[in-house]
Amino acid sequence: MSNKIKNITHRVLSKAWATLLEINYDFQFKNGTWKRVSRESYDRGHGCGILLYNIDKGTVILTKQFRMPIYHTNEEEGMSIEVCAGAIDKIETPESTIIREVEEEVGYKIKEVKQVMEAYTSPGALTEKMYLFVARYSDAMKVNEGGGVFSEHEEIEVIELPLSRAIQMVSTGEIKDAKTIMLLQYAQINNLV
């Protein structure tokens, strides 16, 4: 692949919460011609998400929170129902990040997680790779109410519901988040509950 790309240049367009780059490069197409291509790439690091499931109750834990990019697109969809998730700090592993995020966002102290996939959710614009996990939870693991970290401007509603209802919410469009849909489908395909 590297012999089909040359003359790569980067220009920083923004370096606020994350880095927005303009990347220009020459690309050789299948017919042999070279063309100058320009793309924007948003680099905010990698992230992780987890579906918590309870076999005995047949339930899963999801979150509901305000998402400005969605609201900007469609005000009626600004509140997003998602799996617990977060950005991976440079000093953390995906596993340690998701265990911390579970306690902060939904109030459960879990010790073991299983990574089930990695995915680029928007590879045409984002550098972010999502590490996706599943883990069992029980009522005994509840250590606080969750809700997120106030200093990080989080206000998260914790939702416990039957897996069958969550799957139905994908069909009705109540759940539109890609990582959540992938993990719910994983749970359904693999009969987790």
Annotated binding residue at 87?
Answer: no
CB 129 within 8 A of CB 120: yes
Annotated binding residue at 145?
Answer: no
Annotated binding residue at 174?
Answer: no
Residues 6+ apart with CB under 8 A from 120: 126, 128, 129, 130
Sign of the torsion formed by the C-alpha atoms of 83, 118, 93 and 187: positive
Reduce the DSSP state of residue 37 to 3 states and report it.
strand
In 3D space, the residue among 95, 79, 97, 78 whose CA is nearest the CA of residue 87 turns out to be: 97
| Burial classification of residue 74, based on how many CB atoms lie within 10 Å of its CB (0-12 exposed, 13-18 middle, 19 or more buried) | exposed
Annotated binding residue at 119?
Answer: no
Which residues are annotated binding-site positions?
85, 101, 105, 154
Known binding residues for Mg(2+): 85, 101, 105, 154
